Structure 1
Amino acid sequence: MNENFSLISGISILAIVMYDFFYTTMSGSGAAMLTRFFSLVSHKIIKLGVKLIGRSIFSYSGLIVNLVVFSAWVMMVWVGLYLVYSSDQASIVSSSGLVATSTERFYFAGYTLSTMGLGDFKPISPSFKILTSIFSFFGFIFFTTAMTYLISVSNAVIHKRSLALAIRNLGTNPEEVAKNLVNKSPSYCYQKFSSLQEMIDTHTVNHEAYPVLHYYGNADYTSSFSINLASLDEAISQILGDITLKDFHLEITPLRSSINHLLLHMEHNFHRTLDKDVAPDFPLPKPNKYLIDPLENDMLLQHRRSIIGGLLKNEGFRWKDVYS
């Protein structure tokens, strides 16, 4: 391998993966290009698993996403450092003074990243000594930051499931949810609207900060976010479409707006994973009045259903499951 090409390639790979890693884990503004790509790869692996072994694969969706993304980061840093070391093949030697082979340089690069010390090989050029010390330190930062990031994602996953269960406690289908949202005392209803709005806003913020959250599914029907979100949104459509419930329209508008923001975020940032061709499965609301939404700035019913339909399909559901 040409030594200049090896050096340029190694530096380029290291620069790209380090930017991707630090932007994703420390910016709080989403994921960089590589993380988005490997998250999408994990999504395709999960969808393939659903076809092969069924919905039970969603129990491992978080594990699959984390392993794919984390492994990609590790391997790219490892390969990039190896290529830099390969730009001067005589600069890494064994404890007996023999020049390291290609395999031994690859081993040394991985050993350096593991922060375990130099082992039985060592750099002899000043520049490689400095490079080795830098990446030994980077290895410590890398694994510590990655674990901190995964803990934050885990907390966001717990909140996502808590939100799903909070909706589920209102009912198992849109009719039940709508009934329980409006058939209580006004103070209870307004408190519930406010609580759900706050939880949805928090989930949206988490989703924007940790986009890998989108690829976490759930094998359990009751704690599935997509199917419970669908029930809540359909219930709100029914409330807003019922002129006899106009006293609730103003109070439920902020909750509807929070869902709108979440759906638009999903559509804008995850359009590649939202299979929105689900029109044949749209349930027809029983009373025609539910087809009319009085909010002028609200998303059209068909538009919001297409986005939610994509979320449902990502977790192996159909619209008929929402109304069953």
Structure 2
Amino acid sequence: MSEILLICGSLILLLAIHDFFYTTLSGSGAGFIAEIVSIFSDKVIQVVVQLTGRNAYNYQGLFVNLMILSTWLLLIWGGLHLIYSSNPEGLTNSSGRVANNWERLYFTGYTLSTLGMGNFKPTTAFFEILTSCFSFFGFIFFTSSMTYFLSVSSSLVNKRSLSKGIYSLGNTPQRIAEKFRAVDPYFSYQKFLNLQEMVSKHSVNHNSYPVIHFYTEKDKTDSFSINITRLDEAISILLNSEKDENLLAELEPLRSSVTSFLKNMDTNFSRSLPRVGDSVNSADLPYILNGKNSEELIERRRILERLLRSEGFNWKDVVGQDM
């Protein structure tokens, strides 16, 4: 039994610690555990939204973050407790009494909290070294978690700024396209450049800190999914109808940045997005773009529709005033 507890505890610790460091320090996305917990937490919030309304979205990102942090902590706490339980006589109090199961659980949490060893102490060399290592790890765990969540907050500010920046251009794709046609070329170039930088930054942040995907706004005006869809549709309108070669050339970097973001969504977040058909129903759109790259446009709209539905919206919310 002791060997089984030692092996199980070690495996749980290795899995949880790897997932923690990969998610918080690698900048390459979420670990397997963090991804599963995020998707499960998102589904819980979606159920709550159906029962109570969109106000529940105000707590979605907070809930997902707390669930991830709690899962890491519980797995590490549980795994270390199993290792201590593999040799019950390895922990005793000051009078030499062997710690029972609940006292070993208490000792484990006390060690991870970096408060010390409490009124129990390890009696074997292995447990002494293990306790020292996880006292250090407890400090690293909490400081790394806070640093990670600060980075998430910064990325969230960029996401919201991008969404509001798009909305300020117009509340439908047609209006955004018309504004770009009407303004001074220098202004349009600067705006394209600014949007391109913000979209690229968000795409990088989205990949590095996937939890920001689960921060959803309750209002349509602030919704990232609606506004990024409006921007992409506006670009599609211009690319399929505009004759000004300079304007089209200026649009390409922005289009490329949005494309990179959509590919990232389709590749790395497919499991967290609702499934849709292969194409968008033309009845949902006030215009049909059958120009260049129509197959690419269908694929873009498929990804965008999945993103919209993940936040409880549809194409009518994107183009409603153009219908």
Question: 1:282–1:319: 8 Å Cα contact kept in structure 2?
Answer: no
Q: Relative to structure 1, is the Cα distance of residues 116 and 24 closer, same or farther in structure 2, using a 3 angstrom cutoff?
A: same
Residue of structure 1 equivalent to 2:227 = 228
Q: CA deviation at 1:282?
A: 5.9
TM-score (norm 1): 0.94
**Greater Cα offset, 240-249 or 115-124:** 240-249
Question: 1:193–1:255: 8 Å Cα contact kept in structure 2?
Answer: yes
Equivalent residue letter for 2:307: L
**Greater Cα offset, 84-93 or 25-34:** 25-34
Q: Does 1:283 align with 2:284?
A: yes
* SS of equivalent residue, structure 2 residue 284: coil
Residue of structure 2 equivalent to 1:158 = 157
How far apart are the structure 2 equivalents of 1:90 and 1:186?
Answer: 78
Residue of structure 2 equivalent to 1:322 = 318
Q: CA deviation at 1:227?
A: 0.5
1:47-86 mapped onto 2 (5 Å cutoff): 47-86=46-85
* SS of equivalent residue, structure 1 residue 300: helix
Equivalent residue letter for 2:214: Y
Q: CA deviation at 1:178?
A: 0.9
Q: Deviations over 1:70-128 (max 9, x none)?
A: 00000000000000000100111123321111111111101110111111211111211
Q: CA deviation at 1:280?
A: 4.1
Q: Does 1:135 align with 2:131?
A: no
Q: Where in structure 2 are there 5+ consecutive unaligned residues?
A: none
Q: Deviations over 1:110-163 (max 9, x none)?
A: 111011111121111121111111101110010000100000011001100000
Runs (4+) off by over 6 Å: none
Residue of structure 1 equivalent to 2:299 = 303
Equivalent residue letter for 1:186: P
TM-score (norm 2): 0.94
Q: Does 1:169 align with 2:168?
A: yes
How far apart are the structure 2 equivalents of 1:238 and 1:283?
Answer: 16
Residue of structure 2 equivalent to 1:202 = 201
**Greater Cα offset, 236-245 or 64-73:** 236-245
Q: Where in structure 1 are there 5+ consecutive unaligned residues?
A: none
Question: 2:28–2:207: 8 Å Cα contact kept in structure 1?
Answer: yes
Question: 1:115–1:137: 8 Å Cα contact kept in structure 2?
Answer: yes
How far apart are the structure 1 equivalents of 2:163 and 2:29?
Answer: 22
Q: Relative to structure 1, is the Cα distance of residues 44 and 299 closer, same or farther in structure 2, using a 3 angstrom cutoff?
A: same
Residue of structure 1 equivalent to 2:2 = 3
Question: 1:312–1:318: 8 Å Cα contact kept in structure 2?
Answer: yes
What percentage of aligned pairs have identical amino acids?
A: 47
